[in-house]
Amino acid sequence: MKGVRPDWFPHWENQYVALVGGGASVKRSDVDHVRGKLRCVVINESHQLAPWADALYSCDEKWWKLRFPKQFNGLKITVDQIAPRLFPELKQLKLRPKPNQHGKYCEWLLMDEWGEVGSGQSGGFQALNWLAQLQVKGIALLGFDACIIDHKIHWHGTHPVELNNPDQSTFVGWKRWLEHAAPQLEKLGIEVINCSMFSAVGMFKRIELKATLARWGL
């Protein structure tokens, strides 16, 4: 990759990571089960399930303003350009602008410049792209549903009115770019397993969490 590896990037090469999204399929018992076995990265409100996680990711300035978790001691990461001015402890990734398309960013997985990630139209995708740059060995996706389950959008209910909640078109975008990244991740030697049995996201192996941990000898 081009450029200089950011000095705050952790050295997780060849390690396994749980990436915890906000989908309604997430169970606290599953998140508890990965503690001490895998690295853990949480998206937005899922830090509530794993306050001990290694890293917290949110791409949304409004989320940081409303929800900034002072008690969370892990890395706090964003692609937003304003939030780090308000919260200096935030670490920053960047999106790649599309040529001649103001305000539009490349959605696909990016592996050619340190710290530059594809938008994938979601923070979960951006965190996944970051983990790929860290050269982890395996990623267990929790709560990457891209669908409504039992009339619920998120495990924690809907976001307040100040924040956006996904609709069906949002889910389509999330699913599209995650699935688009699957062959590239496989080529990189990163095994990504979707541990949600209810997820609309295909292209990844679908294995329950306990069986995934057994598969990885954890």
Asked if residue 1 is part of any domain, the answer here is no
pLDDT at 214: 98
CATH number at residue 174: 3.90.1480
**Model confidence pLDDT, tens digit, residues 96-135:** 999 888 889 999 999 999 999 999 999 999 999 999 999 9
Asked if residue 152 is part of any domain, the answer here is yes
Among 4-18, 72-86, 155-169, 182-196, the least confident range:
155-169
Q: Give the rounded percent of residues in the chain with a pLDDT score beyond 90.
A: 87
pLDDT at residue 160 tops 80: no
Asked if residue 2 is part of any domain, the answer here is no
Band the pLDDT of 162: cuts 50, 70, 90. Answer: confident
Mapping DSSP onto H, E and C, the string for the chain reads CECCCCCCCCCCCCCEEEEECCECCCCHHHHHHHCCCCEEEEEHHHHHCCCCCCEEECCCHHHHHHHCCCCCCCEEEECCCCHHHHCCCCEECEECECCCCCCCECCCCCCCECCEECCCCCHHHHHHHHHHHCCCCEEEEECCCCCCECCECECCCCCCCCCCCCCHHHHHHHHHHHHHHHHHHHHCCCEEEECCCCCCCCCCEECCHHHHHHHCCC
Asked if residue 75 is part of any domain, the answer here is yes
Predicted model pTM: 0.96
Asked if residue 10 is part of any domain, the answer here is no
**Model confidence pLDDT, tens digit, residues 12-30:** 999 999 999 999 999 999 9
Asked if residue 8 is part of any domain, the answer here is no
Asked if residue 6 is part of any domain, the answer here is no
Band the pLDDT of 187: cuts 50, 70, 90. Answer: very high
Side-chain-side CA neighbours of 1 within 13 Å: the count stands at 17
pLDDT at residue 175 tops 90: yes
**Model confidence pLDDT, tens digit, residues 54-111:** 999 999 999 999 999 999 999 999 999 999 999 999 999 999 999 888 889 999 999 9
Count structural domains, the chain.
1
Domain with 124, as residue range(s), is: 16-215
pLDDT at 40: 98
pLDDT at residue 151 tops 90: no
Token reading at 125:
């995708």
pLDDT at 149: 86
Token reading at 110:
């990016």
Asked if residue 11 is part of any domain, the answer here is no
